[in-house]
């Protein structure tokens, strides 16, 4: 298959330029002014004049087909990856889980059974470690051979690991060139606050944010980073929500540590006032960590623009409203999570680029290039250049639309951003040179392939910790 995408505004982390893109057999062959000799009868030509062309977006934080909170996420790999490709995400990295008593290989095999042959975008896996023992330690090398170079640790939930174990895992991962992403919340404090709320009869949605305060996140981040310092290992703080947590990351970087950070659109665009909605409406927004203050949104946007936060993922963990009602009488039982893969791209363009908070090149860095670099997929993915896979998103920067649940294909009966008017519409999505989605419709399903990820070897810039803290 030969294809030329002509006259678009090609976006990289360095800027935007008008260029043609020549593709053969799913690989980018040339970026620039294409010679007329390549415009042959067997070459498909797409006019992208006036459009922005991004490298395919990469979402390194999804939860598809996950058994949690007494139920299973509404989106499996079939529905979730269809929604992802429609939203411009050409690669996802989901969390395979080693449950207690399992080996890492058993956990990985279980997730391959869930995903293989069912994905409409490319996919890979992190491995969530819950049962650390000598055999698990030995398996780290095997995971690397299987294309799993990053791992997940929890400091809360039933899957949490203690400080001693975190230190041991970080040290072992560093030996093999791997890296951990960590969910940071102080589980002991959360449990104590929840017990107080229950004893006082505060069982409604509002008790969710009240019992998972920003301080519980910041304390856990601080503790994680001291453990990482002792292990002399890099680490990723996933779904960062608040200024307090960012300050802990700044302090660690000032000490000379390599610390990466991720946030999500919901933390950039929503605040905790949503938990005060009447009835049970606020349950739609029950996630962990919870939504924070408007001030935290402002700080996170500034951190994206300055490079202090390296990626924007979704933490897509979807539940229907009926599933959310499992916690109607007890906020602790509300399944935590919301959908996001279908809208991340347009939200980041509309509320980020079009709103003047970040530049197109920042968006490329946050959604494409940095995830590819950090998670062992660069330069095959994350960039538009000769030799890279032709994963492309063509976005109309001037067109406007409204987010509606009725229009979405993700398997959820509500849209967190229902009614929000956005500027910027995804016109086409290409996966390895093949048209996968066009004008709000998936045109090619089940084309996703497993991504055998490498040990990351391409550095991602991290501030040295000298960013000025606003008082």
Q: Tell me the C-alpha distance between 462 and 262, whole Å.
A: 12
334 domain-assigned? yes
Q: Per mean pLDDT, which range of 316-320, 330-334, 402-406, 458-462 is the poorest?
A: 458-462
Query: Are 186 and 304 in the same domain?
Result: yes
β-pairing, 67-68 with 71-72? antiparallel
Q: What angle do CA 140, 143, 149 make, to 5 degrees?
A: 90
Average pLDDT rounded to a whole number, residues 418-435 = 98
Confidence band for 459, pLDDT divided at 50, 70 and 90: confident
pTM of the model as a whole? 0.97
Confidence band for 57, pLDDT divided at 50, 70 and 90: very high
DSSP states of 350-384: IIIIITTSS-HHHHHIIIIIHHHHHTT-TTTSSS-
Q: Decide which of 346, 374, 402 is a domain's last residue.
A: 374
Query: Are 225 and 352 in the same domain?
Result: yes
Which H helix or E strand runs over 150? strand 150-154
Q: Tell me the C-alpha distance between 418 and 431, whole Å.
A: 28
Helices (H), 133-272: 134-145, 163-176, 187-199, 207-210, 214-231, 243-254, 265-269
Query: Are 151 and 40 in the same domain?
Result: no
466 domain-assigned? no
DSSP classification of residue 148: -
152 domain-assigned? yes
Average pLDDT rounded to a whole number, residues 221-234 = 98
Query: Are 320 and 185 in the same domain?
Result: yes
458 domain-assigned? no
Query: Are 139 and 245 in the same domain?
Result: yes
Q: Tell me the C-alpha distance between 24 and 41, whole Å.
A: 14
Query: Are 39 and 76 in the same domain?
Result: no
- Answer yes or no: is pLDDT of 255 > 50: yes
DSSP-derived 3-state class of residue 332: helix
Q: 7: domain range?
A: 2-54+388-439
Query: What total number of domains does the chain contain?
Result: 2
Q: Decide which of 350, 374, 398 is a domain's last residue.
A: 374
Query: Are 256 and 392 in the same domain?
Result: no
pLDDT of residue 1: 87
Q: Mean pLDDT over all residues of the chain?
A: 97
Residue 441: count other Cβ atoms within 10 Å of its Cβ: 8
- Reported as a single tens digit per residue, the pLDDT across 79-115 is 999 999 999 999 999 999 999 999 999 999 999 999 9
- Answer yes or no: is pLDDT of 289 > 50: yes
Per-residue CA distances from 466 to 219, 317, 360, 462 (Å):
21, 35, 25, 11
434 domain-assigned? yes
pLDDT of residue 470: 44
47 domain-assigned? yes
Q: Per mean pLDDT, which range of 158-162, 192-196, 389-393, 435-439 is the poorest?
A: 158-162
CATH number at residue 430: 2.30.40.10
Query: Are 308 and 420 in the same domain?
Result: no
Q: In what order do the strands lie in the sheet with 122-128?
A: 57-62, 89-97, 122-128, 150-154, 179-183, 235-237, 259-263, 311-312
Query: Are 106 and 191 in the same domain?
Result: yes
Two tokens, residue 98: 């080693």
Two tokens, residue 184: 């940071």
Q: Tell me the C-alpha distance between 170 and 132, whole Å.
A: 12
Query: Are 49 and 165 in the same domain?
Result: no
Nearest-CA neighbor of 360 among 370, 372, 378, 348? 348
- Answer yes or no: is pLDDT of 465 > 80: no
105 domain-assigned? yes
401 domain-assigned? yes
CATH number at residue 101: 3.20.20.140
Confidence band for 346, pLDDT divided at 50, 70 and 90: very high
DSSP states of 232-244: T--EEE-S---HH
Query: Are 195 and 254 in the same domain?
Result: yes
Q: Decide which of 374, 403, 428 is a domain's last residue.
A: 374
Query: Are 38 and 101 in the same domain?
Result: no
């Amino acid at each position: 298959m030969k294809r030329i995408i002509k006259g678009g505004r090609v976006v990289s982390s360095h800027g935007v330029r008008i260029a043609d893109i020549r593709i053969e057999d799913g690989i980018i062959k040339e970026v620039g002014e294409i010679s007329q000799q390549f415009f042959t009868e067997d070459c498909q030509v797409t006019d992208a004049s006036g459009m922005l062309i991004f490298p395919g977006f990469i979402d390194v934080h999804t939860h598809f087909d996950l058994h949690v909170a007494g139920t299973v996420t509404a989106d499996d790999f079939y529905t979730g990856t269809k929604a992802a490709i429609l939203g411009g995400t050409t690669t996802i990295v989901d969390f395979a889980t080693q449950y207690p008593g399992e080996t890492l290989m058993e956990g990985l095999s279980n997730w391959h059974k869930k995903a293989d042959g069912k994905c409409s975008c490319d996919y890979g896996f992190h491995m969530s470690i819950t049962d650390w023992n000598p055999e698990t330690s030995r398996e780290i090398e095997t995971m690397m051979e299987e294309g799993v170079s990053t791992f997940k640790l929890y400091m809360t939930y039933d899957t949490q690991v203690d400080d001693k174990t975190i230190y041991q895992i970080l040290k072992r991962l560093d030996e093999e060139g791997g890296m951990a992403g960590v969910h940071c919340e102080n589980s002991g404090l959360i449990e104590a606050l929840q017990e107080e709320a229950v004893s006082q009869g505060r069982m409604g949605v509002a008790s969710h944010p009240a019992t998972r305060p920003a301080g519980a996140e910041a304390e856990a981040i601080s503790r994680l980073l001291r453990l990482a310092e002792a292990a002399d290992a890099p680490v990723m703080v996933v779904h960062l929500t608040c200024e307090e947590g960012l300050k802990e990351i700044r302090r660690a970087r000032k000490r000379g540590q390599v610390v990466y950070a991720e946030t999500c659109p919901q933390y950039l665009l929503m605040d905790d006032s949503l938990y005060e909605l009447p009835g049970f409406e606020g349950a739609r927004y029950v996630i962990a960590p919870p939504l924070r203050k408007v001030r935290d949104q402002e700080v996170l946007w500034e951190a994206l623009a300055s490079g202090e936060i390296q990626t924007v993922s979704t933490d897509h963990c979807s539940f229907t409203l009926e599933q959310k009602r499992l916690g109607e009488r007890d906020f602790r039982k509300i399944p935590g999570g919301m959908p996001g893969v279908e809208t991340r791209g347009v939200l980041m363009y509309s509320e980020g680029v079009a709103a003047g908070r970040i530049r197109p090149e920042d968006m490329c860095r946050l959604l494409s290039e940095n995830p590819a670099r950090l998670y062992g997929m660069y330069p095959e993915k994350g960039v538009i250049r000769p030799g890279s896979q032709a994963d492309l998103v063509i976005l109309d920067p001037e067109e406007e639309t409204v987010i509606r649940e009725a229009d979405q294909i993700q398997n959820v009966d509500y849209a967190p951003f229902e009614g929000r008017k956005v500027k910027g519409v995804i016109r086409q999505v290409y996966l390895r040179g093949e048209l996968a989605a066009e004008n709000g419709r998936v045109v090619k399903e089940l084309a996703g392939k497993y991504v055998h990820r490498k040990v990351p070897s391409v550095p991602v810039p991290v501030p040295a910790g000298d960013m000025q803290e606003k008082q």
